[in-house]
């Protein structure tokens, strides 16, 4: 068992356990903090796959922006633990059963498709440095890149409009 495999197993264990804790913890703030740890370990996976720029972007966007947004919303809402109602037992049982079924079916499908996966060959070509990524992004994917900026602008305007208090005079 090599060192890289051990690192992968530890990171995977952290990812899965914090994802479960995100769902199961009662307090939404604890959920958000567990989700931050989950995102950090996913960034660790990206680093393990040698894509540094993506790991940094993931940290900035997810742990920096999205989780801060989540935490501020949770603070705005003043959620109490007492008035949190759980779903009825039959619904929760159905959720657990469907989770197990989906998991088993998908994993069995992927195990049986294993012979199709070929051997990994490394050619030594540079494909994930910032230079190459910028070339591909601004040459082949120029139009989707501009559309992403329009999407972000529209989302910003929409968020401001939605969260503004209505000033109707009634």
Shortest spacing between CB 148 and other proteins, in angstroms = 4
Shortest spacing between CB 130 and other proteins, in angstroms = 11
Q: Is the CA virtual torsion 98, 101, 107, 112 positive or negative?
A: negative
Q: Does 94 bind other proteins (CB under 8 A)?
A: yes
Q: Does 75 bind other proteins (CB under 8 A)?
A: no
Residue number with CB closer to other proteins (119 or 169): 119
Query: Residues 10, 69, 75, 142: which binds other proteins (CB under 8 A)?
Result: 69
Binding string to other proteins for residues 117 to 146, with x set by CB under 8 A, is what?
Answer: x--x-xxxx-xx---xx--xx--xx--x--
Q: Hey, which residues between 41 and 60 contact other proteins (CB under 8 A)?
A: 42, 45-46, 48-51, 54, 57-58
* Contacts by residues 29-33 (CB-CB < 8 Å, ≥ 24 positions apart): 29/71, 29/74, 32/67, 32/70, 32/71, 32/74
CA distance 145 to 127: 19
Q: Does 14 bind other proteins (CB under 8 A)?
A: no
Shortest spacing between CB 138 and other proteins, in angstroms = 10
Shortest spacing between CB 169 and other proteins, in angstroms = 18
Q: Does 8 bind other proteins (CB under 8 A)?
A: yes
Query: Residues 75, 95, 142, 146: which binds other proteins (CB under 8 A)?
Result: 95
User: Residues with Cβ < 8 Å from 7, sequence gap 6 or more?
Assistant: 48
């Amino acid at each position: 068992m090599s060192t890289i495999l051990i690192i992968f197993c530890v990171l995977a264990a952290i990812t899965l356990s914090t994802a479960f804790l995100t769902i199961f913890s009662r307090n939404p703030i604890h959920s958000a903090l567990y989700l931050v740890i989950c995102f950090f370990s996913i960034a660790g996976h990206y680093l393990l796959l040698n894509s540094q720029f993506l790991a940094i972007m993931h940290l900035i966007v997810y742990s920096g922006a999205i989780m801060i947004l989540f935490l501020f919303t949770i603070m705005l809402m003043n959620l109490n633990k007492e008035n949190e109602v759980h779903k009825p037992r039959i619904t929760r049982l159905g959720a657990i059963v469907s989770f197990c079924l989906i998991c088993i079916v998908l994993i069995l499908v992927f195990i049986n498709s294993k012979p199709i996966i070929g051997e990994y060959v490394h050619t030594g070509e540079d494909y994930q440095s910032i230079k190459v990524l910028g070339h591909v992004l601004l040459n082949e994917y120029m139009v989707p890149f501009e559309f992403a900026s329009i999407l972000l602008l529209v989302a910003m305007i929409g968020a401001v409009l939605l969260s503004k208090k209505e000033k109707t005079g009634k």
